[in-house]
Amino acid sequence: MDLATDMSYLEKLIRAVSTEGYDFATGSRIMPESDAKRPFKREFASRGYNSLVRLFLHSKLYDHQCGFKAFRRDALFELLDEIDNQHWFWDTELLVRAQYRGYRVLEFPVYWRHGGSSKVNFVKDILGMGSEVFRLWWELFFPGLFSGKGKLFLAASLALLILALVATFLGASDVLDNIKQVSLSTLVLASLVYCISWPLRGIRFQQILNRLGNHYGLGFLTGSIFISQSANVILPARIGDLSRMYILKKSKDLAFTTSLSSLTVERVFDIIAITSIAALASSGVASRFELAAWMESLIRFSGFAILIFFVGLFSLSFREGRIAKRGGKKVSAISSGEPLHKIKEFISAFIHQMSIVAVRPGAFLAVVASSLFIWGMDIFTCYLVLKAFPTAGVDMSSGFTISLIFLAVALGNIAKTFPVTPGAIGTYEVALTAVFGLGGIRPELGFTVAVLDHIIKNSVTLLGGGIALSGLGLRWREVLSTSPDTLKGM
């Protein structure tokens, strides 16, 4: 654009891709025969950057960012979908991927003079491009780790490492001895009980969406939950919830606002249910032991988060109602089309949709009831896993033991809200082991129960997710790489 490259080279550039059989052609300021002049700082940074690209990405080119380029249309369009970067690293990624895929790339020396101005932020963009070199190196030379199966492998490896460390600390031989004593038939029963909880999740999500005026089949909704929860097993920080938004948008064209509000409501009611269970169960075990400080902190933190959510939602709903009564529609008509107006419109719709379910008494009680039932099944699964150890010496019929299991699973799931590991693998087991230990269950037995309980739940989740993916014609890579930008752009 700034004509830094002498236009006498234009014919050579065009001929390379039009008649000489090259797929990509680029001028070079760094080849020995090049005649280029630019400030020392930029020359030094450019040569250093291109050396890194040649070293780590095995490129044969000297200069990846000269703006003098031509592409054969078919070859370019075959590569566009593979290119992630949309900034300064774009042409580097294009040329590197072209070489990696076996396309013919021509680089030739040019006469080039610095234009005197640039929009490059020297520090910020150079650091950013350095991280992009690492990202592309990882994708090209370790491709399996960025596929759905690869992410599953990484998560499984991390889980095994964490669990192996805890097992070693508690005594690996004792853990193995416990596993040898387990009743397989009871574990199978526990797995079946957990399977039953999934249609209940679908029914609850169906309740929420029905309240928002969106009616979908139970099978489809249960399948979408299976997929998003499978993604949450693999990815940290509940990023997998984006997968469900993606599926709802792609399959049903559900508005991003609606899918976000319905998922937010679902998560809030999950926290309400497990916090209520933890608070009630803590009173049931109070006769035997005093809660550790971290347990009380988890319950209080969760309760405080719920309180803040509803106070904020009530306040915002009340404010939106007052604005509407004062003629908010007239203001909207005047400011229509402005970016700020669109943001306000999105927030207003989001608050309104959440308040339909979370604030109105009938809807609130219905979703609370279904949430308690879902988590009751989750806890019953853990109960059966503990029952599968007949020599554990635990009275499974006592109110204390039942309260202890309720408390352990509730605190384990509250701990899951902190994105320490993918799928909260490790944090869940540690939380259950600690609570069981306070209740008199041997730490190695408590850990074994926690591990088997989590294995059953994650295995059912991943198996259901795989079946749902096949039924919906989707791929792991597709649902694991979604982002808010993808959702908005569909």
Strand, helix or coil at 69?
strand
CA-nearest of 421, 411, 137 to 281 is 411
- What span, in angstroms and rounded, lies between the C-alpha atoms of 92 and 97? 8
DSSP 3-state of 142: coil
* Spatial contact of 142 and 57, defined as CB atoms under 8 Å apart: no
Nearest partner of 430 among 421, 381, 179, judged by Cα: 421
Distance CA 7, CA 235 (A): 50
Q: Is 91 a catalytic residue?
A: yes
For 411, residues 6+ apart whose C-beta sits below 8 A from its C-beta are 278, 295, 298, 299, 431, 432, 435
Residue 54: CB atoms within 10 A of its CB come to 15
> Which residue reads 């279904």 in tokens?
370
Chain centroid, CA 434 distance in Å: 28
Distances (CA, A) of 404 to 59, 193, 219, 277, 412: 60, 20, 34, 11, 12
At residue 212, the 3 state secondary structure works out as: coil
**Catalytic residue chosen out of the listed positions 23, 63, 91, 378:** 91
411 vs 296: CA distance, rounded Å: 10
Smallest CA-to-CA distance from 220 within 235, 239, 241, 205 is with: 205
75 Cα distance to chain centroid: 32
The one-character DSSP state at 26 is E
Strands 111-113 and 69-71: unpaired
Closest CA to 446 of 374, 378, 393: 393
Distance CA 252, CA 76 (A): 32
Q: Which residues are tagged catalytic?
A: 91
